[in-house]
Amino acid sequence: MVKKKYAVLIVTYGEVEKLTLRNLWPSSRRIVNVITRQIVKVPKLLIYFIADYRSTRHYIDWRLHNYESTLVETNRIQTRIIASRLRDSHGGIFSDVDVDVLEAYYFVPPYLEDTLKKVREEYDGVVVVPMIPVESAFSCGVACLMIADEYKDSRFRDVRVLNRLWQDPELHRIYTDYLFQKVDRGYIGKGSKTGLVLVIHGTLVRDRAGNPPRVFTGLDETAGFFHYMKEKILGDPRNIFDDVRQGCMNHSAGGEWTSDTIEKALGEFHEEGYDSVVMFPYGFFADNSETEYEANALLEKSPIPYKQYIRCINGSPDFAGWLSGRIRSELQTLYNLQGMFDRLGPADVAEHVF
Q: What is the mean pLDDT of residues 210-224?
A: 91
204-207/255-257 β-pairing? antiparallel
With cut-offs at 50, 70 and 90, classify the pLDDT of residue 45: low
Q: What is the mean pLDDT of residues 53-60?
A: 91
pLDDT above 60 (res 353): no
With cut-offs at 50, 70 and 90, classify the pLDDT of residue 83: very high
pLDDT of residue 215: 83
Strands (E) across 255-343 are located at: 255-257, 276-280, 306-309
With cut-offs at 50, 70 and 90, classify the pLDDT of residue 314: very high
Residue ranges of the chain that CATH labels 3.40.50.1400? 4-166+318-353, 168-309
pTM of the model: 0.93
Q: Which residue pairs from 21-29 have beta carbons closer than 8 angstroms and sit at least 24 positions apart in sequence?
A: 21/55, 21/56, 21/59, 23/108, 24/55, 24/58, 24/59, 25/51, 25/52, 25/55, 27/55, 27/107, 27/108, 28/52, 28/54, 28/55, 28/58
With cut-offs at 50, 70 and 90, classify the pLDDT of residue 354: very low
pLDDT of residue 42: 64
Q: Whole-number mean pLDDT of the chain?
A: 92
Give the model confidence (pLDDT) of 146-200 as tens digits.
999 999 999 999 999 999 999 999 999 999 999 999 999 999 999 999 999 999 9
Q: Do residues 154 and 352 make contact, with C-beta atoms less than 8 angstroms apart?
A: no
pLDDT above 50 (res 232): yes
pLDDT above 90 (res 292): yes
Amino acid letter, 285: F
Q: What is the mean pLDDT of residues 73-78?
A: 98
Which residue did the predictor score with more confidence, 312 or 255?
312
pLDDT of residue 39: 57
- What percent of the chain clears pLDDT 90, i.e. is strictly above it? 78
Give the model confidence (pLDDT) of 15-37 as tens digits.
999 999 999 989 988 887 776 55
Reduce the secondary structure of 149-186 to three states and give it as a string.
Answer: HHHHHHHHHHEEECCCHHHCHHHHHHHHHHHHHHCCHH
Instruction: Domain 4-166+318-353: give its CATH architecture.
Output: 3-Layer(aba) Sandwich (3.40)
Q: What is the mean pLDDT of residues 43-70?
A: 87
Half-sphere exposure of 98 (CA within 13 A, CB side): 7
- Grouping H, G, I as helix, E, B as strand and the rest as coil, residue 253 is coil
With cut-offs at 50, 70 and 90, classify the pLDDT of residue 260: very high
pLDDT of residue 208: 84
Give the model confidence (pLDDT) of 111-129 as tens digits.
999 999 999 999 999 999 9
How far is CA 311 from its chain centroid?
14
38-52, 240-254, 278-292: least confident range: 38-52
pLDDT above 90 (res 77): yes
The CATH code that applies to domain 168-309 is 3.40.50.1400
